[in-house]
Amino acid sequence: MSQAANTFWVSKVNPYAATNSLVKRQMRFRRFVDALVIMIILAATAICISVYARSRAEMSAAEAKYQAASIRVEELRVDTERLERQVLRLKNDPKLIETVARQSLGLVRSGEVIIKTGQTAEESRAAGDKRKAGALTQS
């Protein structure tokens, strides 16, 4: 028998032949594990980037909403101040009180004569509202 065909002699001639295949198998397994770890790290990184991008978009939307709410609050504050000034004027200004009473309530002083024109009730009410708004904003 020839030594080349007999595996017994191959392992006897080269004692590292059996361990070489074991080392190769261990290296292949090690490379597989390394590739698997790298894939897991890449997947985790992609998930983190995705979550960050989504959070950033939500943050931008929340900031825009906050800005809109701030503007609305400021507008309401200005309106409140304007209404407080009107209330104060209505409490303290007798001429304004009389004007509002005449225009919106249709009150007259004793001895005054009312002359009705051809206006309908709606037209006179609309005219009174316009005069009332003009009197309140002029002061």
pLDDT recorded at residue 126? 72
Residues 78, 98 share a domain: no
Residues 103, 37 share a domain: no
Count of structural domains, the chain = 2
Each residue of 61-108: pLDDT tens digit?
A: 999 999 999 999 999 999 999 999 999 998 998 888 888 888 888 788
Provide the domain limits for residue 79: 1-85
Which of 85, 108, 125 corresponds to the end of one domain?
Answer: 85
Whether the predicted pLDDT of 6 surpasses 80: no
Residues 108, 138 share a domain: yes
Q: What percent of the chain has pLDDT over 70?
A: 73
Residues 6, 39 share a domain: yes
Whether the predicted pLDDT of 125 surpasses 80: no
Of 97, 82, 80, give the one whose Cα is nearest residue 132: 97
Q: How far, in Å, CA of 73 to CA of 5, rounded?
A: 94
Contact call for residues 136 and 97 (beta carbons, < 8 A) = no
> What type of residue is 90?
L
Residues 123, 81 share a domain: no
Whether the predicted pLDDT of 8 surpasses 70: no
Average pLDDT over every residue of 52-59: 97
Where is pLDDT greater, at 12 or 56?
56
Residues 62, 3 share a domain: yes
pLDDT recorded at residue 103? 83
Of 68, 138, 129, 81, give the one whose Cα is nearest residue 104: 129
